[in-house]
Structures are given as C-alpha cells and as structure tokens.
C-alpha cells in the first residue's frame, strides 16, 4: 500500500459539506471537496496530489482538446452496514481503463496509483460517502492529454490523471421509451466502441438529441448490419429476459464491457436463471414480442444500476414491454447487488474492496 505520505495532501479550508443536501442529490450535480491529480511527464507518473476540487489550468495546445485523447471510468463506493466503505470491482474497472488507455495510445497507469489514489481520496472525503440506503459515492477517474506546448497531429507526451467524486442517490425512473436507431451507429468493428473514451459520447449526442425530439428517451444502437443486431441502449448495456433466460448481446469491439452487465450475468446463476450471450437482430426481438416470450428489458450501467425499458420502436412499430415484474430478474438482481455492496449479503464473488486506511 502507498502510504499517505507518498501523496502530497492539501486540504480545503472551505468545505462544501455543510451546504450539501444529501436528501436531494441529482446525479453529477454534487462534487466532493477534494480531487486527486497526477501528471505524466517525460515517461513517468509524478507524485499524486490530493487537492481541493476546483478548476484546472490547461494549455490551449493540450491535445485532448484537439484530438480527443481522453478516457474515463465510472464506478462507485458504498457505505457498508457496519459503517465501513467499500469500492465495487476495482480490479475490473482498472483492467478496462488499461484497455481504453492502450486503444487511445495513452500511457498505462500503475494499478497502485489507481487503487491507492481512489482509496486515499475517498478516505480524505469520507464524510461525503452517503449513509442512506441506495446512496453511494460516484467515482470518476479519468486521464487526458494535457499540457504539451505543440499541437501538430501526434500523440501527446504529457497526460494528467484526475479523480473526482460525488455523492449520488438511488435511480428511480419511469420506464424508458426507446427507438432502435437505424441511421447512425455508435461504433464499428476495428473502432473504439469497447473503449471508454470521450469521443464515443461526443458522437452519440446528436442522434440522441434527434431521438428526444421525436419523443424517445434514448436510442438502441445496432451494429449497422442488415440484421440490425442490437448492441447497447444509450450509454448502457442492454439485457432481456426471454423465456426465463437472461439474454444480452455478446461482447465485441463495438460493445462496452459493462461491469454491471458482467455482474448481472454472474448473479443470474445465483438466482437460477440461464444466460445467453448471443446476437439479437431486430426481427428476432420483434418475434419475441409477438410470441409474448419477452418478459423484461432493461439497461445496465454503474450510474442507473438498472433502467427498465417500457417500449421499443423498431421496424416502424412500437412494441410494449409488460409491466416490470416485482419478482422478476431485474428487481431481484438489483437488490442482490445492493445487498452485496453494503455487506448485507456475502461477497461470494469478491467484488468489494474495503478501504482499510
Ligand atoms: C460505461 C458504459 C456502460 C456501462 O458500463 P458499467 O461498467 O456497467 O458502468 C455501457 N455502455 C457504454 C457505452 C458505456 O460507456
């Protein structure tokens, strides 16, 4: 373990804690007092600093601003039933960040810097980890090309690693009204769809805006082939329960390897569901509606955990899902996940890292 002395710590003298209403948290609107910052210069990561959250100075030639070398993670820390704090699936998030960095030709981040950085930061902002059920501390580690003073087209020599955090409440939403997007795609084979890089989001905003103007909440992305195989739902993975089987598209270089998705696939066995990772074309899916074999559909991701889908428009027709079954997979798996994260169920899959500072 890196001891706190290896981090330089500069505490804020103006905590925003007292003015924060933990009963009315909106996702992404509240940030904790501190952030972690480390620079990559001349081929090495420098001493990480824990500093007050605030604006950063960036040179206008910073290559992230021009060429999009920027990747991120989204993860959560939970208050356990005995008051401790645990981080969910830190190794898997680290592995994914490493893949994203490699794909964007950015320097690797040592696991120790990632893991200790998260732990030291959360320890410092311990009071920001909510205590209420269903609440958590959202963690946003990210790396971007930073202060290089030349802007020719090339990969940067200078990078910055930042971690910011913020308390979040439970996600409740009406069921989503989605359309299968048949004009735009999010990712193509050989591209960056599997990487959590900024550009994937930038490119998705416009099609999403058009879908919202048509009255939908989000789009369902396909692979753009003639079968229109389903890939993801907005910036979430998509899962179905068809004939009591949990079905989701197989991972590929066009699908983000969601850690919530992976957790659901693992929990399915514990809950007695079979799983299938297989291609689902829109015709297949329409058939499942017509045969009434489709029981559930939901998006999965760290922020929402599970976002129930109410209708899917495809092939010129709106197909309605049945009401979310209270004893169905989504609700049971979501509460099982919550129980594991908070220590109310055994952590049989070893997903929790307890902060032991
Ligand atoms: C982050 C993300 C997800 C969800 O991944 P989780 O690890 O479950 O949060 C799904 N799809 C895309 C495109 C993403 O960027």
What is the whole-number distance in angstroms between the Cα of residue 232 and the centre of ligand 1? 9
Ligand 1 in reach of 187 Cβ (< 6 A): no
What is the pLDDT at residue 357?
A: 74
Mean pLDDT (whole number) for 13-22:
96
Residue 150 sits in the same domain as residue 180: no
Classify residue 347: in a domain, yes or no: no
What is the whole-number distance in angstroms between the Cα of residue 14 and the centre of ligand 1? 34
Last residue of one domain, picked from the residues 142, 168, 194:
168
Tokens of 319: 């197909």
Residue 185 sits in the same domain as residue 241: yes
CATH number of the domain at 277, please: 3.20.10.10
Ligand 1 in reach of 236 Cβ (< 6 A): yes
Please enumerate, as own/partner, the contacts of 328-331 that have beta carbons within 8 Å and a separation of 24 or more: 328/241, 328/295, 328/296, 329/241, 329/246, 329/268, 329/271, 329/273, 329/296, 330/239, 330/241, 330/296, 330/298, 330/306, 331/306
What is the whole-number distance in angstroms between the Cα of residue 6 and the centre of ligand 1? 32
Give the model's confidence band at 2: pLDDT under 50 very low, under 70 low, under 90 confident, else very high.
low
Pocket test for ligand 1, best of 202, 218, 235 (most atoms within 8 A of CB): 235
What is the pLDDT at residue 249?
A: 98
What is the pLDDT at residue 4?
A: 53
Classify residue 348: in a domain, yes or no: no
Residue 232 sits in the same domain as residue 264: yes
Convert the pLDDT of each residue in 272-284 to its tens digit. 999 999 999 999 9
Q: What angle do CA 355, 162, 3 make, to 5 degrees?
A: 40
What is the pLDDT at residue 171?
A: 87
Mean pLDDT (whole number) for 307-315:
97
Ligand 1 in reach of 232 Cβ (< 6 A): yes
Instruction: List the domain range (segments joined by +) for residue 292.
Output: 176-341
Q: What is the mean pLDDT of the chain?
A: 95
What is the whole-number distance in angstroms between the Cα of residue 237 and the centre of ligand 1? 6
Ligand 1 in reach of 260 Cβ (< 6 A): yes
Classify residue 183: in a domain, yes or no: yes
Classify residue 350: in a domain, yes or no: no
What is the pLDDT at residue 153?
A: 76
Nearest CA to ligand 1 atom 5: 258
Residue 99 sits in the same domain as residue 223: no
Residue 146 sits in the same domain as residue 184: no
Q: Report whether 207 contacts 219 (CB < 8 A).
A: yes
Residue 135 sits in the same domain as residue 189: no
Residue 127 sits in the same domain as residue 199: no
Tokens of 203: 């490119």
What is the pLDDT at residue 148?
A: 76
Give the model's confidence band at 236: pLDDT under 50 very low, under 70 low, under 90 confident, else very high.
very high
Mean pLDDT (whole number) for 244-261:
98
Lowest-confidence region among 4-8, 69-73, 186-190, 211-215: 4-8
Classify residue 346: in a domain, yes or no: no
What is the pLDDT at residue 3?
A: 54
CATH number of the domain at 105, please: 3.30.470.10
Tokens of 215: 């009255």
What is the whole-number distance in angstroms between the Cα of residue 195 and the centre of ligand 1? 10
Q: Report whether 45 contacts 164 (CB < 8 A).
A: no
Q: What residues contact 201, with CB distance under 8 A and at least 6 apart?
A: 235
Classify residue 352: in a domain, yes or no: no
């Amino acid at each position: 373990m890196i001891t706190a002395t290896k981090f330089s710590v500069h505490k804020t003298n103006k905590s925003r804690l007292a003015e924060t209403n933990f009963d009315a948290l909106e996702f992404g609107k509240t940030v904790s007092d501190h952030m972690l910052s480390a620079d990559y210069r001349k081929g090495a990561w420098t001493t990480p600093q824990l500093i007050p959250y605030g604006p950063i100075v960036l040179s206008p030639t910073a290559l992230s601003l021009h060429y999009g070398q920027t990747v991120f993670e989204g993860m959560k820390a939970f208050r356990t039933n005995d008051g401790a704090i645990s981080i969910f699936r830190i190794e898997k998030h680290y592995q994914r960040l490493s893949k994203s960095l490699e794909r964007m030709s950015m320097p690797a981040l040592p696991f120790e810097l990632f893991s200790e950085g998260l732990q030291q930061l959360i320890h410092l902002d311990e009071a920001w980890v909510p205590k209420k059920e269903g609440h958590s501390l959202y963690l946003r580690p990210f790396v971007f090309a930073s202060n290089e003073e030349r802007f020719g087209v090339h990969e940067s020599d200078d990078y910055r690693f930042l971690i910011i955090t913020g308390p979040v409440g439970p996600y409740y939403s009406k069921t989503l009204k989605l359309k299968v997007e048949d004009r735009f795609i999010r990712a193509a084979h050989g591209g960056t769809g599997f990487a959590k890089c900024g550009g994937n989001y930038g490119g998705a905003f416009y099609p999403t805006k058009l879908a919202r103007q048509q009255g939908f909440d989000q789009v369902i992305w396909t692979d753009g082939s003639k079968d229109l195989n389903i890939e993801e739902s907005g910036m979430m993975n998509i899962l179905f329960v068809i004939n009591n089987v949990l079905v989701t598209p197989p991972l590929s270089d066009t699908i983000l390897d969601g850690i919530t998705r992976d957790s659901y696939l693992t929990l399915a066995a514990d809950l007695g569901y079979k799983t299938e990772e297989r291609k689902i074309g829109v015709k297949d899916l329409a058939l499942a509606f017509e045969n009434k074999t489709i029981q559930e559909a939901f998006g999965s991701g760290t922020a929402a955990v599970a976002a129930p889908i109410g209708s899917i428009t495809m092939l010129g027709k709106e197909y309605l899902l049945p009401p979310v079954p209270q004893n169905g997979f989504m609700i049971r798996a979501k509460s099982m996940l919550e129980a594991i994260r908070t220590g109310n169920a055994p952590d049989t899959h070893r997903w929790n890292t307890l902060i032991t500072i």
